[in-house]
Amino acid sequence: MQSRCSTNFSPIIDKTKKTLNQWLQRDLSLKGRVLLTKAEGISRLTYAAQSLQVNNTVCNTINRILYNFLWRNKTHYIRKSVILNTSDKGGLNCIDFTALNNTLKVIWIKKYLNNPTSIWNFIPHFVFSKVGGLNFLLCCNYSIPKIPLKLSNFHQQVLLAWALIYKHNFSPQSCIIWNNCNIVYKRKTLFLSNWFNNGIIFLNQLFKEPGLLYNYSEFTMQYKIPITPKEFVVVFDAVPSGLCMLFRGFYSAHPLTLHPPDVLKSPLGNFCFTSAKQLNSKIRALFQDNLVSVPSAIFYWANFTSNIDWKKVWSLPQKYFLTNKVKEISFKLLHRFYPAKHYLTKFKADINTSCTFCQKQPETCSHLFWSCEFTYRFWKNIHKFITDSIFADIQLYYKNILFGFHSFDVKDRDAFFCVNMVLFIAKFHIHKRKFSNKKPDFFVFKLELQRYLNLISASKNTKAQKTISICNSFGLLT
């Protein structure tokens, strides 16, 4: 029998999948497809996820559709944990729907706490009032199956999302009695409103000097609270021996009544429930931190060169007003999945691996973009162009083609801004010539560079205006 969650989301998922499949006919860049997963995929699903429970099966189905679309329903060249990274860490700023769903549940908590008595919140307000209110419950070391309430699947997922990011730093002084998964009666956590309203909140309030539990008469004399012997036995017998051992020999003076903790004043509550900019993405980052991993390319390139500032390398393409197709060449080269013929033998063994340009050597990335005789001649012309027009004292190596220039004097910043831009466009030129079965041509490259600068000269984009201003200072527009 189909679950209610599947019934709610199946029509939306089917429509999303159909729409994304239509976009596969277009020759889009990786970042273009990432943008579409957000605009055509996630945006359709977010509205429903804000108020409905989304189980793991549905989340996994959505993630599978989105990531298959990203790779055009073919081989996934980079691990999902890598492309979830931000662009300055070698990723594509992809979104994991499970993390997004948890983020939406935390945002629901924020909206609830802002106005708990709203007409939209009267049901959860009534339900959570039986355990001290949601504000108090979120500060407790709760376990969802042990909470003595019949919670909806949505509210269970809300509590689970909060538990995934809220860390309990246990100490005897801050251990709470109520809704504590370690203090149970008949396999359920405890909450007695009479005790709670009279300020009996923390476990150390049940102990006398030197770390022994009160008996019934001592407790009633100390706190002057009208409680029945049955309530006393239920609470004190529920305290496990392990916690009693922690308090053995420990005594801390405490006031007779205490105020319950406020989740809004906790470090995480102060972070999640403010009105800061980009709050959703910051909360989502808390959930995705456990999902991301370092790109394997970093360890590969460390075998050949050292002292690479990877944050600058990954961020360099974002400084320029270039199309995603141009930036994608560097991304593929750095992550080592550029479709050179030698690389494609991993997927099809019987292809001709001879270089497209020279037809003599196997076509590896290093050969295609550097050591091929035609490419090498092209780079010599590029080097002469740079030394004549931009910066005279410069040497060009393969590592500069891959990673760009990052170590230079501040006074030479504009010059190297131009140099790195030229390298991006030159790599894209080699890529285009490969797939058009033509050899790299410096004269054609200069025309492409001139056409690019003329094209962006009319743009009001800040990056474009900066590029034109710097290029004008070096006379590249003439």
Point out the least confidently predicted range of 257-271, 275-289, 315-329, 440-454.
257-271
Q: What is the pLDDT of residue 445?
A: 97
**pLDDT for residue 252:** 60
Identity of residue 161: A
Q: Average pLDDT in the 179-199 region?
A: 94
Q: What is the pLDDT of residues 81-128, one digit of tens each?
A: 999 999 999 999 999 999 999 999 999 999 999 999 899 899 999 999
**pLDDT at residue 174, rounded to an integer:** 83
pLDDT more than 70, % of the chain: 97
Q: Is the pLDDT of residue 263 over 70?
A: yes
Determine which of 192-196, 253-257, 312-316, 437-441 has the lowest per-residue pLDDT on average. Answer: 253-257
Express each pLDDT in 145-164 by its tens digit.
999 999 999 999 999 999 99
Is the pLDDT at 302 greater than 50? The verdict is yes
The predicted-structure confidence for 37-78, as pLDDT tens digits, reads as follows 999 999 999 999 999 999 999 999 999 999 999 999 999 999
Determine the Cα–Cα distance for residues 439 and 434; give it in Å rounded to an integer.
7
CB 336 within 8 A of CB 307: no
- What local confidence, expressed as pLDDT, does residue 178 receive? 96
**What average pLDDT does the segment 240-253 reach?**
76
Helix (H) or strand (E) holding 410: none
Is residue 293 over pLDDT 60? yes
Which has the higher per-residue pLDDT, 435 or 265? 435
Averaged pLDDT, 232-259: 77
Question: How far apart (Å, rounded) are the C-alpha atoms in residues 45 and 475?
Answer: 50
Percent of the chain at pLDDT > 90 equals 81
Q: Report the DSSP beta bridge partners of residue 354.
A: 362
CA distance 66 to 235: 50
- C-beta pairs of 348-353 under 8 Å, 24+ apart in sequence: none
Pick the residue with more confidence: 288 or 2? 288
> In the structure, what pLDDT confidence band is assigned to residue 272 with cuts at 50, 70 and 90?
confident
Structure confidence at residue 287 (pLDDT): 94
Q: What is the pLDDT of residues 367-401, one digit of tens each?
A: 999 999 999 999 999 999 999 999 999 999 999 99
Indicate the helix (H) or strand (E) that contains 12: helix 4-23
Per the DSSP assignment, residues forming a β-bridge with 106 are none
Distance separating alpha carbons of residues 184 and 179, to the nearest angstrom: 8
Q: What is the pLDDT of residue 2?
A: 58
Residue 141 contacts residue 151 (beta carbons within 8 Å): no
Q: What is the mean pLDDT of the chain?
A: 92
Q: What is the CA radius of gyration of the chain?
A: 31
Reading the block at residue 130, the tokens are: 């039986």
Name the pLDDT band for 253 (thresholds 50, 70, 90): low
Q: Long-range contacts: 383-388, Cβ < 8 Å, 24+?
A: 385/422, 385/442, 385/446, 386/419, 386/422
Cis omega (within 30 of 0) for bond into 210: yes
Inform me whether the pLDDT recorded for 256 exceeds 60.
no
Per-residue pLDDT at 258: 64
Q: Taking the model in full, what pTM does it have?
A: 0.91
pLDDT exceeds cutoff 60 at 323: yes
Q: What is the pLDDT of residue 255?
A: 55
The whole-angstrom separation of Cα 417 and Cα 395 is 15
Q: Which pLDDT score, from 0 to 100, does residue 1 have?
A: 40
In terms of Cα–Cα distance, which of 242, 232, 425 is closest to 327?
Answer: 425
Give pLDDT, residue 241. 87
433-441 contacts: CB < 8 A, separation 24 or more?
Answer: 433/357, 434/356, 434/357, 434/368, 437/356, 439/357, 439/374, 440/357, 440/374, 440/375, 440/377, 440/378, 441/378
pLDDT of res. 131: 96
